[in-house]
Amino acid sequence: MHEMSVVQNLVHLLRNICEREKAIKVVLIELTINHYSCLDEENLNFMFSSFMAEDPVLKDAKIKVKRSETMQEREYVVENVEIEVE
């Protein structure tokens, strides 16, 4: 359940961003994933939407994945978070 730990980490990060920015909705999360990672956009989106189905701020967010062209230190990097604010 590696994807689940990634989703849990993303949720923690997103909640911090939402609190700080007074976000009313998260629209998009853009990740760059290590070239050799087993993480998959479809699985991440499925787990995220299942996990956040009851959260009005996070439930409609979509994860967009881009594979890195070169080896990177981390398995994934959050490149951008698109939010709507009050």
Q: Where are the domains of the chain?
A: 2-85
Residue entry with tokens 């080896």: 71
Cβ atoms 68, 32 nearer than 8 A: yes
The predicted structure's pLDDT at residue 26: 98
Three-state secondary-structure class, residue 79 = strand
The predicted structure's pLDDT at residue 69: 83
pLDDT in tens, the chain (86 residues): 588 999 999 999 999 999 999 999 999 999 999 988 889 999 999 999 999 999 999 999 999 999 998 777 888 999 999 999 98
> What's the topology of domain 2-85?
hypothetical protein PF0899 fold (3.30.2320)
pTM: 0.90
The Cα–Cα gap between 35 and 82 comes to: 24
